[in-house]
Structure 1
């Protein structure tokens, strides 16, 4: 059995079966299953011991690193602080040696006091509190049996929790009633500063549907809160919204209410009986029962119960209607009990229309807002750095921009068949579409087409590339450029005649229908598990300051591989702050022709986010410098796509201490930002190779400082631009205080003065 059923990790332990409130929407007391009446009021100590040993045995047999126990009821605080202390002690004593034990309690909080908080703090128990909004909203359902309001007691308890043991506060659980104003509910909960809010659909089935005035009333109610939440910049975690966003991008759900992840939860009642998910009580009397208990059955036996395994089958376990739904990866059929109708759970959720509408709304809004980046991210990037999270924010913005470009109506008009094909592929293989359009030179081509400088046919090649990455079958008339059909991120069909040719993509293989051409798959460079595409074939790659090299020979590719691996190792060892950003965002290396004078050349192109172009330098250290330097341009270009750092109407040019010619403000900003990293490279390098690194550091810190001053006094920066440049100055400031040999500093000053004099003589 162990090898065939998933492990159980979450255990809802009922410690008390009665409640001190009479909430009329409670699934325990107000719905079909009334088994609570035959259970012990408080879980006996011997039952707790048996529960704990069963969980420990299961954790050991399944080699679980951690398990969660949630104290529940009824109202668990009715057990009293001393009894809860005893229960928690027993659980810790038996389970903690087997696995890390994470404990929570879900409570209505009317009894919460300092004594309870001391107990929960002693055992590291996090506290979730049920509250349905402001006074009017909460008292619609959550009252004492005599009708008296519970609101003041609950809010007082939350304030005590925040004041006395704030680290134990895990969040608020709010059951939705659409008669309540959604924004008032949201604002009232937000004022209590919870770390998380969990909005819960009221439990219902097709046999007993929820009250509603329209088919999507619950979606409309939640959608209003979602829009406000986004406008407020997501000031609190809202588990339902977070789960929709996560599942939209292929991550796991945070809630059992949606998502296709297998359930790992079992309920254990006060009599030691194992039950399925507790909310099944809304379906029919006895619905949660398994017929198993802690005294006679192991948790391995529970894991194999049909009612448990039914919630572990992913998409395949859903109804045919759900399996065919475009939002199934987020919805997952909704909460299992909500699917019940006429003795069957093989149905969509009774909230099907609500879930579809809400998920579609959140997905659309999330994708529209993917180009937004938080102020904290901008501040980190302005300092010259930026780790994986910051770069992923930029990547999200670039995907949004590229989607907008390739779905532009002019694109669809020029290539209607390819546009429709991409829409179909996007519905089925969104990840593959994102992978292709993330290729740097797709945007270069798209911008060129919209400006009338590139042909439309490359859209067909992009569709073919998506099909190849997805393993889908596609026949399409591909565009030929310079005798080749290039599929971004996939490869090239070389030696093809004509302006276009029919190709077939099948299970990742690409060929021409007439059998002509030579297939050349894309090649990569690899270092420490990270790979980058060597782009020596894309017809739109020649957009850099220096001319592109032709296709690399095997020997040239081998030299690039050797140098890239060594450069990456050097960055990891000596410049680790830059490595996470490079790993997250550097996707492509484009070889340039060597400069005839022998100097090192490299470049980043404004519309080619993710790509660095370079001619192979003489040593890996120089390649490391070029990668760090040019990726600064890549980052700043993405930032400038989203934010106005300067007034674009300013036509004045400015002195750049490293250029013979005056620069427009964007050019000066780009150079200055990149040279922060250059100065940093030589600052650290001088401890390994003092000559010439010490001289280079002296030169670049002085020139970069001078350029920052020029930017700051340009009177052309926006408010955000002023803050951005100030953060750049903060990074450089301590480097200016680092002592260098007097003669080195004198040489740097003399060189700067000579450069300025030469510039002024030409002006």
Structure 2
């Protein structure tokens, strides 16, 4: 299989090539590579402008939702405020609309002052500080050339970032491990500085220049040191995220790593030097002189050309790019062979070796695995990765809303997650090789068609089931997704697809009913349709015949059963998904194949519901139109009960049993899409402490709820409350059963929502972003308290809430509604 280069999403921009410290473990000046001697001291305006242009060009070509740029050196602060301002302005101006810039600077901190901090506040640069622990640990390596300590100046820099004015700029601390330093003292010193994150970095070394292993420390001193830190960190309640530990936790569960030194994720980073030369990762400077060089520069070459450099491709080849020993290792999916540079041996084998820290990584990973056992699949709660939303977009969502660009950014992040999940499913499995080869070819030839296929909500649900080893997770189904992508692209293909219960399924397009119960069928496709070959006569499905997968045709009969799509006035297209077996991801039973009459029964109410949403919930409508493309019909619930659901693993879909009225359908759509949005946020951002296992009172339920359940319900009820507030305003001055019912609903749901926000805010378990969400929800909900509903509605709502609380107390055995 030919590997398609992964687009670069991370860029290290060298703005200065000299340093004001003389750290003896520095890979730039103290290891094998000497290219720094011939570099310009700082990047010129011409280099900065062309670098920004190339990054913007690359982001536009690959439709990247975000890029991450680190201003680096040497010591980047030596470039001065004017040059750093210029770099930030050029980068932001060059990116296409909709692409977010995550801009950071990595510095030793000794020059950081208030002027720099004010500049970084103005241009949006976050600051990471290198610090190796307490003074004794830091001074072991990080000194000035004359031997003076840098520790006091670094602490002063961190103190600036901890001030309320600049706290939002504080990105974290980077600590290079020295096993002769006291691990407990190092961790305590770093935690005392309240960093948003800590990175512990193994010292750069190769098989030719191995890391120091002091006498008496055993064969795995780096593992032992990190395990001591891990134990102390865990005992302290994990007060701050530690990237290496989080990455081990994630990769043990089949998820992506947060660092290039662990896991099998393809490398997506390129370095731009002060003279405009394009290089591989800086860590390669420790291997041999010239190791990072590519021979490319920003003036003569595009970033796509650099991505095809053999060294870049090697670092994107996952399991296939590792040594034989690594591929056979039981922890390879967590370790990933370690940092690429650490595998180097100058005996002709190059990088085709295990890491020089192999034994340490094995011991660290297996120890953490044994200390924190759990399922090997994908956890419901995600550990955050790099931000996918801007501050403004997070504020939109915190208030309950979400514009089309914001929801589109969420969808793009979910698509990236789906891609990584599929890669994890397919990695190293012979039964998926044929489908994976077609998918990677389409990624290069027809990426939009591939994205459309992978955006089908239940592709991710299937991948998660596979990784968790759940029932209904047939690896052969990957071929169905590959076939859909090829059919959308209109390219020729041939694949073996599974047949289950007499049906061959094309996720998001439909299914073919066959007259046999065989295990597989051979499918060939082209621009006009596809042919299914089994032991029976070949079956041809042409797109130019009725009931194609791109129409809402309701004709009955025939072997091809497409997913029907309703194109509603007002710009919303929604699929009624009744063919994909993975649609059973919702908590309620799904309906079977809809008849033509049943499709029409959905079409009218959905159109009316959409018109109501646009009129009565204008803050929610753009996000729904941008992000909700699938409604899965559910079986009807008990008489008088409306049934709906959302699945954390199926972004873009909701399940609904068609209610009696269009207004209730509008309410269910808005309610469930709130869950969809918040679930997508939680995939990438921590809003609360996942270690908090207390149960809380939710005023709308008799059973105690975990913190996330309370958060999800409160967030969904923002839309519910606004729906009823709008209807109460429409009934202003009118008396009728419908008006009285609306007033009771508003009185009930606004009280529930405001009370639950208060419980969340007082839980003590929200992160800073979670507190921001609580404040946003409160700001949205509190004005509805002023909408008059009358004393009768208020009284009935209070009585119902008191009855609910009594049931909750009886069920939980608690006397207070706070967390237990």
Cα distance between partner residues in 1 of 2:750 and 2:121: 52
> For the structure 1 residues 603 and 633, does the alpha-carbon distance in structure 2 shift closer, same or farther, using more than 3 Å as the test?
farther
CA-to-partner distance for each residue in 1:400-431, whole Å, 9 max, x for gaps? xxx9xxxxxxxxxxxxxxxxx999779x9899
Correspondence for 2:186: 185
Correspondence for 1:698: 743
Q: Could you tell me which of 262, 266, 270 is aligned with 1:264?
A: 270
Correspondence for 1:603: 643
> For the structure 1 residues 319 and 343, does the alpha-carbon distance in structure 2 shift closer, same or farther, using more than 3 Å as the test?
farther
Cα distance between partner residues in 1 of 2:117 and 2:587: 63
Alignment length, in residue pairs? 660
CA-to-partner distance for each residue in 1:457-494, whole Å, 9 max, x for gaps? x946855545533559668784x4xx879899785565
SS at match of 2:212: coil
1:462-501 superposed matches below 5 A: 462=474, 465=477, 467-469=479-481, 478=500, 480=501, 494=513
Q: Could you tell me which of 550, 556, 575 is aligned with 2:598?
A: 556
Cα distance between partner residues in 2 of 1:177 and 1:14: 27
The alignment status of 1:204 with 2:187, answered yes or no, reads no
Q: CA deviation at 1:204?
A: 1.6
SS at match of 2:159: helix
Q: CA deviation at 1:581?
A: 8.3
Q: Could you tell me which of 375, 379, 382 is aligned with 1:370?
A: 379
Instruction: Give yes or no for contact 1:322–1:328 (8 Å, CA) kept in 2.
Output: no
Correspondence for 1:615: 658
Instruction: List alignment gaps of at least 5 residues for structure 1.
Output: 375-379, 404-420, 447-455, 649-653, 657-662, 712-717, 757-763
Instruction: List alignment gaps of at least 5 residues for structure 2.
Output: 60-66, 384-394, 422-427, 440-453, 484-493, 538-557, 683-689, 757-762, 766-773, 803-820
Cα distance between partner residues in 2 of 1:59 and 1:384: 34
Instruction: Give yes or no for contact 1:207–1:341 (8 Å, CA) kept in 2.
Output: yes
Q: CA deviation at 1:526?
A: 6.3
Correspondence for 1:31: 31
Correspondence for 2:80: 84
Cα distance between partner residues in 2 of 1:708 and 1:9: 43
> For the structure 1 residues 35 and 260, does the alpha-carbon distance in structure 2 shift closer, same or farther, using more than 3 Å as the test?
closer
Instruction: Give yes or no for contact 1:594–1:616 (8 Å, CA) kept in 2.
Output: no
1:613-692 superposed matches below 5 A: 613-615=656-658, 617=660, 619=662, 621-628=663-670, 645=695, 680-687=722-729
Cα distance between partner residues in 2 of 1:165 and 1:732: 30
Instruction: Give yes or no for contact 1:534–1:591 (8 Å, CA) kept in 2.
Output: no
Cα distance between partner residues in 2 of 1:540 and 1:299: 50
CA-to-partner distance for each residue in 1:227-256, whole Å, 9 max, x for gaps? 776887875455556777899888796769
Moved more, 627-636 or 730-739: 627-636
> For the structure 1 residues 273 and 384, does the alpha-carbon distance in structure 2 shift closer, same or farther, using more than 3 Å as the test?
closer
Q: CA deviation at 1:132?
A: 1.0
Correspondence for 2:134: 134
CA-to-partner distance for each residue in 1:261-301, whole Å, 9 max, x for gaps? 443312227xx988765544423345567889xxxx86325
Q: CA deviation at 1:53?
A: 1.6
Q: CA deviation at 1:174?
A: 1.3
Instruction: Give yes or no for contact 1:477–1:501 (8 Å, CA) kept in 2.
Output: yes
Name the Cα RMSD after superposition. 7.0
Correspondence for 2:286: 282
The alignment status of 1:56 with 2:52, answered yes or no, reads no
Correspondence for 1:450: none
> For the structure 1 residues 238 and 570, does the alpha-carbon distance in structure 2 shift closer, same or farther, using more than 3 Å as the test?
farther
Instruction: Give yes or no for contact 1:128–1:169 (8 Å, CA) kept in 2.
Output: yes
Cα distance between partner residues in 2 of 1:437 and 1:123: 37
Q: CA deviation at 1:108?
A: 3.2
Cα distance between partner residues in 2 of 1:542 and 1:120: 45
> For the structure 1 residues 29 and 365, does the alpha-carbon distance in structure 2 shift closer, same or farther, using more than 3 Å as the test?
farther
CA-to-partner distance for each residue in 1:189-223, whole Å, 9 max, x for gaps? 12112344333221222322223577766466556
> For the structure 1 residues 246 and 559, does the alpha-carbon distance in structure 2 shift closer, same or farther, using more than 3 Å as the test?
farther
SS at match of 1:206: coil
Q: Could you tell me which of 325, 347, 352 is aligned with 1:347?
A: 352
SS at match of 2:80: helix
> For the structure 1 residues 150 and 540, does the alpha-carbon distance in structure 2 shift closer, same or farther, using more than 3 Å as the test?
closer
Instruction: Give yes or no for contact 1:602–1:630 (8 Å, CA) kept in 2.
Output: no
SS at match of 2:172: strand
Instruction: Give yes or no for contact 1:600–1:615 (8 Å, CA) kept in 2.
Output: no
> For the structure 1 residues 643 and 526, does the alpha-carbon distance in structure 2 shift closer, same or farther, using more than 3 Å as the test?
farther
Q: CA deviation at 1:622?
A: 4.0
Q: Could you tell me which of 334, 342, 359 is aligned with 2:339?
A: 334
SS at match of 1:70: strand
TM-score where L is the length of structure 1 = 0.61
SS at match of 1:313: helix
> For the structure 1 residues 703 and 298, does the alpha-carbon distance in structure 2 shift closer, same or farther, using more than 3 Å as the test?
closer
Instruction: Give yes or no for contact 1:461–1:486 (8 Å, CA) kept in 2.
Output: no
Cα distance between partner residues in 2 of 1:311 and 1:245: 28
CA-to-partner distance for each residue in 1:137-156, whole Å, 9 max, x for gaps? 32333345676654344324
The alignment status of 1:159 with 2:155, answered yes or no, reads no
Instruction: Give yes or no for contact 1:260–1:332 (8 Å, CA) kept in 2.
Output: no
Q: CA deviation at 1:340?
A: 5.5
Could you say which structure has the larger radius of gyration?
Answer: 1
> For the structure 1 residues 238 and 96, does the alpha-carbon distance in structure 2 shift closer, same or farther, using more than 3 Å as the test?
same
Correspondence for 2:555: none
Q: CA deviation at 1:133?
A: 1.6
> For the structure 1 residues 278 and 688, does the alpha-carbon distance in structure 2 shift closer, same or farther, using more than 3 Å as the test?
same
The alignment status of 1:438 with 2:461, answered yes or no, reads yes
Q: CA deviation at 1:439?
A: 7.5
SS at match of 1:265: strand
> For the structure 1 residues 257 and 250, does the alpha-carbon distance in structure 2 shift closer, same or farther, using more than 3 Å as the test?
closer
> For the structure 1 residues 366 and 541, does the alpha-carbon distance in structure 2 shift closer, same or farther, using more than 3 Å as the test?
closer
Instruction: Give yes or no for contact 1:504–1:510 (8 Å, CA) kept in 2.
Output: no
CA-to-partner distance for each residue in 1:559-617, whole Å, 9 max, x for gaps? 5245435524543553256665898789542255799xxx9863247999975332364
